[in-house]
């Protein structure tokens, strides 16, 4: 990960490297192309890159030694994407990508199908319910955000990505896990480096091993003596007499850091960009904070942090009129589904006043994101903190070319603002 746009180009920054490997920065606005393809057909044969014509600088599925027997497909319409997520028995989570990531993450909820998925989710979701997280809003989340704002509030200017949105979600998750503050930098680096399996398998595996050893010690400690943190909840969670093994907990924790922190950094950055790019919408939430929940949902719809995921068709089926043979990989394109003009009027426009309809930024169905309550809580706390402390902030008029980029992972590299002190 990075702290500034300059740091983002540092070759020693693993998250900047991961971003570049995923094509971040290469595509500013994929939505007109998504719309064109969706109008032609709700489902297309090919990869997201080959179908859109946008080049991704990443290896093919053959990276993990898994050669697909059938061509892949991409779902672009809201109806098609929702069905892929809803029908988990037909569209399996066991994909070449998820099997590859299992090398570094371990066996996680991302590549489980029922009944294994149902049992595992029942255990881990106890730590991420709305009620379980509510107490942390004022004890942890707001203080972390305020500490970051303290660092720049008297300056009159800031980069809201590098100095705030990038850092606070990781610190919150580390604190929720009960990790020592002194270990944060090391934990951060290893959590991101393990994702580099897509470009550097040895580096990804090495980071995974070190992170697993580190987390394993903490899990063992929490088994012996529970503390007031999520690792303790996971270590002692029980459902129908079943408990999580140490390996299952460590695998979940490996997944949680890059997945939970990184997506919140992107979604909160995208939301702030949308609000500040249209001054009237920022002023609307300044005047009426009751608009914050719908602003958050509109931000997630308009610019989801992740535009696609992947599934494998477990049996021959027909998706929106397109035959798909068993064994084919199907990529539900969340970004295209969230901009489906049969569901939203003028979908490419960010508008917090539009009638609210459910979006797919957190996926749908059995695999709907476990961290959605935490993500919403963090983003709401971020907005309240900014409204309390620098309500007159605006995009720096001298900043050049501030924009959101990426084909799969989307966020602005920087978000320079100015405000009164």
The whole-model pTM stands at: 0.90
Band (pLDDT 50/70/90 cuts) for residue 246 is very high
Band (pLDDT 50/70/90 cuts) for residue 50 is very high
Give the mean model confidence (pLDDT) for residues 323-347. Answer: 97
51-77: b (≥16 Cβ within 10 Å) or e: bbeeebeeeebeebeeeeeeebbbbbb
Crossing angle between the packed helical segments 184-193 and 168-177, to the nearest 10 degrees: 110
Model pLDDT, residue 10:
42
What digits encode the pLDDT tens for the residues 109-147? 777 788 888 888 887 787 788 887 888 888 899 999 999
Give the mean model confidence (pLDDT) for residues 223-248. Answer: 88
Model confidence at 55: pLDDT above 80: no
CA of residue 4 relative to chain centroid, distance: 20
Q: Which residues pair with 405 in a beta bridge?
A: 411
Superfamily of domain 7-418: Cytochrome P450 (1.10.630.10)
Give the mean model confidence (pLDDT) for residues 163-175. Answer: 90
Model confidence at 2: pLDDT above 60: no
Model confidence at 89: pLDDT above 50: yes
What is the three-state SS of 40-108? HCCEEECCHHHHHCCCCCCCCHHHHCCCCCCCCEEECCHHHHHHHHHCCCCEECCCHHHHHHHHHHCCC
Out of 63-77, 86-100, 230-244, least confident range: 63-77
Give me the residue spans of the domains in the chain: 7-418
Q: Which residues pair with 239 in a beta bridge?
A: 242
Q: Provide CB contacts within 8 A for 158, sequence distance 6+.
A: 152, 164, 416, 417, 419
Model pLDDT, residue 106:
75
What digits encode the pLDDT tens for the residues 390-413? 999 999 999 999 999 999 889 999
Band (pLDDT 50/70/90 cuts) for residue 15 is low
The rounded distance, in Å, linking the Cα atoms of 249 and 10 is 33
Out of 10-14, 88-92, 374-378, least confident range: 10-14
Model confidence at 59: pLDDT above 60: no
Average pLDDT, the chain: 87
């Amino acid at each position: 990960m990075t702290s500034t746009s300059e740091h983002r180009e540092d070759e020693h920054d693993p998250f900047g490297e991961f971003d570049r490997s995923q094509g971040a920065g290469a595509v500013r606005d994929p939505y007109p192309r998504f719309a064109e393809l969706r109008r032609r057909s709700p489902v297309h044969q090919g990869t997201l890159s080959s179908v859109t014509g946008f080049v991704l600088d990443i290896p093919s599925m053959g990276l993990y030694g898994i050669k697909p027997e059938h061509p892949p497909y991409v779902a672009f319409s809201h109806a098609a994407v929702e069905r892929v997520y809803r029908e988990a028995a037909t569209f399996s989570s066991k994909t070449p990508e998820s099997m590859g990531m299992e090398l570094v993450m371990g066996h996680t909820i991302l590549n489980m199908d029922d009944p294994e998925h149902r049992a595992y989710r029942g255990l881990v979701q106890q730590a991420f319910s709305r009620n379980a997280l509510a107490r942390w809003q004022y004890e942890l989340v707001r203080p972390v955000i305020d500490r970051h704002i303290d660092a720049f509030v008297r300056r009159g200017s800031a980069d809201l990505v590098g100095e705030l949105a990038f850092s606070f979600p990781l610190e919150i998750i580390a604190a929720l896990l009960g990790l020592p503050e002194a270990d944060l930098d090391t934990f951060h680096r290893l959590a991101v480096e393990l994702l580099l399996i897509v470009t550097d398998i040895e580096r990804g595996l090495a980071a995974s091993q070190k992170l697993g050893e580190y987390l394993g010690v903490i899990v063992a400690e929490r088994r012996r003596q529970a503390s007031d943190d999520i690792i303790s909840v996971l270590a002692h969670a029980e459902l129908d007499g079943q408990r999580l093994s140490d390996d299952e907990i460590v695998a979940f924790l490996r997944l949680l850091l890059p997945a939970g922190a990184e997506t919140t950094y992107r979604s909160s950055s995208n939301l702030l960009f949308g609000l500040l790019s249209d001054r009237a919408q920022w002023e609307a939430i300044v005047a009426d904070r009751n608009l914050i929940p719908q602003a958050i949902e509109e931000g997630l719809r308009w610019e989801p942090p992740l535009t696609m995921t992947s599934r494998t068709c477990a049996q021959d089926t027909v998706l929106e009129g397109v035959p798909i043979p068993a064994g084919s990989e199907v990529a539900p394109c969340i970004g295209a589904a969230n901009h489906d003009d049969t569901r939203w009027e003028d979908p490419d426009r960010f508008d917090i006043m539009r009638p609210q309809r459910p979006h797919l930024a957190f996926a749908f169905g059995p695999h709907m994101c476990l961290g959605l309550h935490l993500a919403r809580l963090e983003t709401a706390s971020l907005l309240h903190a900014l409204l309390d402390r620098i309500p007159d902030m605006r995009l720096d008029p001298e900043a050049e070319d501030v924009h959101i980029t990426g084909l799969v992972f989307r966020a602005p590299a920087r978000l320079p603002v100015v405000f009164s002190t």
